[in-house]
Structures are given as C-alpha cells and as structure tokens.
Structure 1
Amino acid sequence: MDNLIEKALAAAQDGWEIAQGWLTSPAAWSQFALLVLAYLAAFFAAKRLGPVLKRVIAPPEAQRHIVARARRFVLIFLPLLLPLLAYAFTAMGEQVTRSLFGSGAVIAFGKRVFLFLAARILVKHIVTDPFLRLLGRYILVPVAALYALGLTDEIVVWLAGLTVTMGNISFSVLSIVRGVIAGGVLFWLGRWSNDQSAAFIGQQQDLRPATRTLAIKAAEIAIFGAAFLLLMNIMGISLTSLAVLGGAIGVGLGFGLQKIASNFISGVILLLEGQATVGDYVELDGGEAGTIVKMTARAAILETFDGRWIVVPNEDFIVTRVTNYSDSGSANRYEAPFSVSYKTDINRVPAIIEAAVAKLDFVLTDPEGPDCELRGFGESGIDFACEFWVNGIDDGRNKYTSQVLFAIWNALKEADIEIPYPHRVIEIKGGGAA
C-alpha cells in the first residue's frame, strides 16, 4: 500500500511539472487555442447537424419493422455528436501543431478529455439498462478519466500483478475486470438481440403458436450460448477444462435435478407437438384450469378467470389427462337450461328460443345453430336447454351463457310464456279446540 502511495505521489509530481511546462510554453498556448477553436467549431456544427440527422434517421411513427427499430436505436446516440465532433476536429488540429511545433502533448490531452466527456454523456443520458449504467458509472467513466490523465498503462500493469487464487486456479484482477466488462456488454447485446428476434418471430402469423414459441426459445439458447462461448474466449478460459468440470458437475446434479430435467424435456415435447400452447384454455386432471399465458422451460403459467396465476409443471401436461377447450380458437358448445310452466304450449318454445338466441352476434351457425331441446318434466315446470356454439371459452371474461339466459328470459316474456317457480301447498290436519 505504501508503495502504491509513493507511486501516486510521484505521478502527481510529474503531472505538476508537465503543467508548469505547458503554462510557460508558446507551443502549449497555441494548442490550448486550437482546443478552444475545435470545441467551438464542434458546438456550432452539432447544433446545425443534430436536427438534420434526427430528421434523416428518424423513421415514420407508424413503422414498427426491424429497420425502423434499428434507426430509432441509432437516434439515442445523438447526444454524443458534440464530443465526437470535438475529438475529430482536435485530431485535425493535432496534425497542424505537430507539423509546426513538433509537439502535440497538450492537444493529445484535449482529445482524451473529449473522449472522457463522451463516456460521461453515454452513461448519464444514453444507457438505460441498470446493470450497464452501473458498469459505466464505476468502470467506464473511471477508466476514461485515467486514460485522459495518461495513467492507464500503469494501472493495467498494477492490476495484472494482483492475483486471486481459488485452489489450483489463479486469476489476475485485470482478467476479472475485463471479464465483467465484456460479459456485461455481451449479455446486454444478447438480451437486445433476443428481444428483437422474439418480436420478429412473434409477428410470423403463418407459423403455429407452438412453433413460434419453440423458435423463440431456440433463438434465445443460441444467442446466449454464443455470448457465453465468446466470453470464455475473451477471458482466456479453456473450453476443454470446462467440459471436464461440466461433466463432473452434471453427473452430480443429475440425481438431484431429475424433476427439472423432466419438466424441461416435457416443455420441448409440448412445443413440438402443440398439444397445449399460449392462449389455450385447459383443465388438468388435478382441477387446475385457466388460460395459458406463458410457457417457460420449467412450467406453464395459467391465468384463471379471476386473474390469479397458477404455475403448473410441464410434466403434468404429459403424464396426466388434460382437457383443452380451445385449440387455436376452435368453436365450443355450451348450453343454457331453463323451464316453462305446465300451462305452456311447449311446441312453440323451440322456435321462439332458437330465433332469440340466433340474434346474438357471438353465437355461431357453423357447425350448428342454436338448438332448443326438451329435457324432461320437473316438479315445478317443463325443463328445456338451449345448446349453442361460440368461438371461444365461456369464462369470467366471456360470459356467453349469461347473455343467452338474458335473451331467453326476454323472449319468453314477450311471448307471455310463464317461467315457473316452486309452489308449496301446506295442509293442516285437525284443529285445536277453542
């Protein structure tokens, strides 16, 4: 620690001597003037070019395809225009000063300062991902500041000399920092690429829902697998040693994670066969029922009609009986029971009810229109039921049976047909003496 403090003090002393030399050198003052001119030129150029570039790059608001999204992504980097233009103009000024004075230390320092400003703008105004912003705030900006001061070589050598030992494996702190930075960037790019590919595949309506879900999962595995392999290569870790270690870990975990493996394989089978997919209303043998809103590698998430989510392991869809009420929006049949009074001419009832129910816009005529059937003779009235087909599920969001019953009630009232209710006759035998 004392050695590090001594090096820092020596570097500060060298910096002070360099600053004194710059303050007394005409060549340094000329370079300072060029830096100011470069910044002013960049300021006015950015002010003029910014609106033009925004107008050229920005796609129409209605466009949502991948090219339009890429153009909107480029637009978020417009705040970097000023420091990057200043850097470019300073680089041109550096060639002039080196040809005239044979020195360009001051203007080279200014270039590095402009890169530092670009890093700060990137982290503060452009990066929105919390993890990347954390990396930028505590790694990118400090590194840019050290680079502007010309201390990166010394810091790199110092970090490379520090090692972390884990058993027989040793890592330098520099490799760990490099791995964290590369991993953050790679997996952020992987997540962005995965979102874009998932959105593109999701728009392919010609594919079955199960095929789209399987393609999205395959793309996700391929993207993050490639990112992991690239990260291992950047960190210099041998994939052969990882294969041996992974095999040993896999044997150990295999006994304890059999259920997870079974659920994963069951999920792949479900996606391939399409027995149940996102949007289907299913009921399992255990009583769980709801609409599948999401299918993960381990489980399917069902949403009940009252808004609750039920997590069902994928294996349950394979080893138990599953009733699928909706396969890609197929029609389903329901019935609405009702009764009429024994005084009614029951021959009139089917035509009245079928005509009333057929007027409802959600009732289908194919495969069959409304069918009113006599079901029996009850205690209080004659029992009927109207069967009807709808394209969907009669659940909490789609109360088809309720609307059909309203239509039946109104139709019976208009036809002066009485809807019975239970009557009780109480007979009192014997009277008490007064």
Structure 2
Amino acid sequence: MEFDLSTQPEIVQRGAEYAIIAWELAKSWALSPAAWSQFALLVLAYVLAILVSRRLRGFLTRILTPAEGLENLLARARRTSLLTLPLLLPLLAYLFTAIGESVVRSLFDSGAVIAFGKRVFLFLAVRILVRDVIADPFLKLLGRYALVPVAALYMFGVLDPLMAKLGEMTISLGNISFSVMALIRGVIAGGVLFWLGGWSNRQTTQFIENQKEMRPSLRQLTSKAIEFTIFAIAFLLLLNIMGINLSALAVIGGAIGVGLGFGLQKIASNFISGVILLIEGQATVGDFVELDGGESGQIVKMTARAAVLETFDGRWIVVPNEDFITTRVINYSDSGSANRYEAPFSVSYDTDINRVPAIIEAAVATHPDVLDLPYPPDCELRGFGDSGIDFAVEFWVNGLDDGPNKYTSDVLFLIWNALRDNGIEIPYPHRVVEIKGALPQVEV
C-alpha cells in the first residue's frame, strides 16, 4: 500500500520514510530464522540474569551491609554500594546478551536483533541509575534531561548520526569557533566537573577543618587555595573537552585582564588583603575585634572579599578585608590574652579612705573569673569629687565584658556589698540652698 505524500510538509515525509524503514526492518526480523534465534537468546539471557541476580543480590547484601552503628569510611562506602544493587539485573542481562551476540554473529554473520536488545538493557540500566540510585538533586536532574535521552538515542541507533550532524554545525565567537556538539558536550561535562569540584572541595575543607593542630588562619588559607586550584583545573578541563584552543584565549584574556585591573581594583585589593590576613593570622575566625570606624564584633566568617562580624545583639557586619590592613584594628582575643576592665565607685568624705583599697581588692578577688595574673585586683584613688571621694578598681579576666559575660556588673555588686558590710557610705549629691533676706509672708 502506497500513499502520495508529496503535498505534505517535509517533516511528515521524513517521518513516513522512517516508519517504512522500521516496518521493513520488523518484517525482515519476523521472517528471519536468525532473528528468531536472536529473540530466543534475548529471552534466555534475561531469564538467566533474573536467576543469577536473585542469588547475587542476597549474597552481596550480606557482604556489603556494615555493622550497626559503624560510621567509618569503609562503612559509608559499603552503604553506598548497597544502593547500586538495583542495577544488577539489567547489567547482567546486558552481559549475557553481549555473550550471545558474539555467538550469533559467529553462526549467522548478523546480530541486529540481539544488538538492539543489548542496547535496550543498557537503557534500562541508565534509567534505574537515574531514578533509584542517584540521590543528589543536581545529578538526578542532569541524568533525567541528559543521560536518559542520550541512552534512548543510542538504543534506537540514531545517536552517532545525530552527533555527526551536530558536529558539522559550528558557532564562532571572534577567533574562537566550536561546534554545537562541543557546546552540548561542554554543558554536560561542565555540570559534572563543577559538581565534582564542589564535592571534592567540601570533602577537602572538612578534612582540613578537622586538623586542629593547624592555626585557624592557616586552615582557612589552605581551604581557599585548594578551592581555587580545584575549580581552575575543572575550568581548564572543560575548555579541553569543548575543543577550544587555549592559545586563542590569550588576546581575550589580556583584554579582560586589563578591564578587571581598572574596574575591579577594590575586589583585587580585598582579595590580597584576605590572603595576607590568613597568612599572618592577626585576625581570624573567633576573634573579637574593634575597627577604627567603630565596628566591633566577633569574626564568624572570612571570605575572599570580606570578613563577617557578629555583634552581641545578633547583627552581622560585613567588613572589607582591606579595612583590616589599612586601618587600626583592636583584637581583644588575639593569642588568648586577658583583658583589663575597671569599675568606678565613690565613698563619703566621712570615710577612712585608707581602709577602702584592702576591702575592695579582697571582695573583687572572690569573683571566680577575676585573675591573679598578670595582675590581681587593684583599687586606686582617682580624685576628690563634689559629693564624694572617687575610686576605681582594675581587674583582669579572660573574656569580654559583654554578651554572656557581665564582669563589671558582678564586680559592682561585690563592691556594694563589701562597702555596706563595713559601714562605708556611698554618697549621693547634696545641695545647700541659701535664701537671702526675709522669707515671704503667706496670708492665711
């Protein structure tokens, strides 16, 4: 039966041609003894794969299941291997079919049917891999929209012609030219490479952070250097996969470098300042710092561009790294040094001030966080005020008098109680009002 499709669109005519080819191929397979033998081998290979996979699945499950509560690297690898067991059936079917294909080709000098069946089993394996094995959201998305369609095209035997057609289509950008196939390959490979780069960077960073014998600043610098190296290698591999000649990037790279030099001076300055900070270790994560501009807080994060300070009221302040190099910085936590504070107070003029220093120093020394070294509490006479005699007690503590710590408040309580227990009065302002002349008379 023939149809006149000359008046139909080209796509309809092309579809009809493919349909006729498929029909002729199916008819030749249905009427060929060699095709029937290949169908029989396909069924045999699948049944054999089912039987073998059932036995292997139980055996591998027992071997790969780690002991309860075991969390070392080998245990995690064994648990990951357990996730791949659904691939056992299609891969065994693919293996047995490949063996059957070699036998059929040696007997009949053809194996189109069994080769198609082998590609079907491979497609099923890819589909199970994307659907049941891969757990990462990005890899699952890449597998669903890239790996599975490629496997489907390979199954129907149209992958190579399509790749050749896309390879003939080129895109030019100045001195750089690449094919559409190279672009598609670059997108897929780029996604995989940068995912691998991110994963390896996370693993490396976690390993470095566990090296507690290294200084925090050195750990940060090492992590950043490894991160830069990993993604630089991934970028170069991506260009190589896409077939882009790296020498062709020289002119464009030079122009971009000049533009970056003029337009991104601040970013470059902050990046270099961040490297200097990490090398010298004068300010690192965990330190409480106060900048010349008045910003103060604990450093909770240091990036290539800026440091993040967290204040005691929960706010985050982003400070460019350059400010740590070009301005004055007070580090209250550097080298674990103690900090000195003072608590001012006054006593009445009726007091024997020679008793005050010993009383106050003994009271402040009872505070559990007040240190004897580098200096014990020291009570000093500061002056004679309008209402009383001014004193101040200096004391040293390991920590900051803010946030969870209330050192000055605690010391003032101790001073109050000590003065009260010893009968020493804390003065308050007195005013004497002198009225000249007679008092005004009030009529009743």
TM-score range, shorter chain: 0.7 to 0.9
| Mapping of residues 394-409 of structure 1, within 5 Å | 394-409=401-416
Shift of 1:91: 0.8
| Mapping of residues 32-431 of structure 1, within 5 Å | 32-55=43-66, 60-61=70-71, 63=72, 68=73, 72=76, 75-96=79-100, 98-99=102-103, 108-167=115-174, 169-424=176-431, 430-431=439-440
Distance, in Å, in 2 between the alignment partners of 1:194 and 1:177 is: 25
Shift of 1:247: 1.0
Letter in 2 for 1:431: P
C-alpha distance 379-204 of structure 1, shift in aligned 2 (>3 A): same
Letter in 2 for 1:60: L
Distance, in Å, in 1 between the alignment partners of 2:14 and 2:79 is: 43
RMSD: 3.1
String of CA shifts for 1:6-61, please: whole Å, max 9, x gaps: 555544554455556666725413422431441353245324423531317x9823
Letter in 1 for 2:60: L
C-alpha distance 20-382 of structure 1, shift in aligned 2 (>3 A): farther
Identity %: 62
Preserved CA contact (<8 Å) 2:382 2:391? yes
Preserved CA contact (<8 Å) 1:289 1:304? yes
C-alpha distance 86-126 of structure 1, shift in aligned 2 (>3 A): closer
Letter in 1 for 2:331: N
String of CA shifts for 1:235-279, please: whole Å, max 9, x gaps: 111111212220122113322222222222222222222232222
Letter in 2 for 1:52: I
Preserved CA contact (<8 Å) 1:22 1:29? no
Shift of 1:175: 0.4
Letter in 2 for 1:88: L
Moved more, 102-111 or 179-188: 102-111
Partner of 2:56: helix, strand, or coil?
helix
Distance, in Å, in 2 between the alignment partners of 1:419 and 1:216 is: 57
Preserved CA contact (<8 Å) 1:163 1:171? yes
Distance, in Å, in 2 between the alignment partners of 1:339 and 1:273 is: 45
Preserved CA contact (<8 Å) 1:337 1:383? yes
Distance, in Å, in 2 between the alignment partners of 1:356 and 1:177 is: 77
Q: Is 1:29 the counterpart of 2:48 in the alignment?
A: no
Shift of 1:282: 1.6
String of CA shifts for 1:409-432, please: whole Å, max 9, x gaps: 444445454444334455666233
Distance, in Å, in 1 between the alignment partners of 2:320 and 2:16 is: 62
Shift of 1:403: 3.1
Shift of 1:393: 2.4
Distance, in Å, in 1 between the alignment partners of 2:17 and 2:58 is: 42
Shift of 1:140: 1.4
**Hey, what does 2:5 align to over in structure 1?**
none
C-alpha distance 42-185 of structure 1, shift in aligned 2 (>3 A): same
Partner of 1:276: helix, strand, or coil?
coil
Query: TM-score when scaled to structure 1?
Result: 0.85
Moved more, 103-112 or 292-301: 103-112
Letter in 2 for 1:45: L
Aligned pair count reads: 426
Distance, in Å, in 2 between the alignment partners of 1:108 and 1:410 is: 95
Distance, in Å, in 2 between the alignment partners of 1:123 and 1:410 is: 73
Distance, in Å, in 2 between the alignment partners of 1:32 and 1:14 is: 25
Moved more, 249-258 or 172-181: 249-258
**Hey, what does 2:6 align to over in structure 1?**
none
Preserved CA contact (<8 Å) 1:76 1:126? no
Query: TM-score when scaled to structure 2?
Result: 0.83
String of CA shifts for 1:319-358, please: whole Å, max 9, x gaps: 2222222213222111222333444444444334333433
Q: Which structure 2 residue ranges, 5 or more long, are not aligned?
A: 1-8
Distance, in Å, in 1 between the alignment partners of 2:429 and 2:150 is: 86
Q: Is 1:433 the counterpart of 2:442 in the alignment?
A: yes
C-alpha distance 34-133 of structure 1, shift in aligned 2 (>3 A): closer
Distance, in Å, in 2 between the alignment partners of 1:406 and 1:110 is: 87
Letter in 2 for 1:31: L
Distance, in Å, in 1 between the alignment partners of 2:77 and 2:413 is: 53
String of CA shifts for 1:140-190, please: whole Å, max 9, x gaps: 121122223333212212322333343554322210111111111111111
String of CA shifts for 1:175-232, please: whole Å, max 9, x gaps: 0111111111111111111112222222223332222222111111111111111111
Partner of 1:328: helix, strand, or coil?
helix
Distance, in Å, in 1 between the alignment partners of 2:132 and 2:367 is: 55
Letter in 2 for 1:194: N
Letter in 1 for 2:305: R
Distance, in Å, in 1 between the alignment partners of 2:187 and 2:42 is: 38
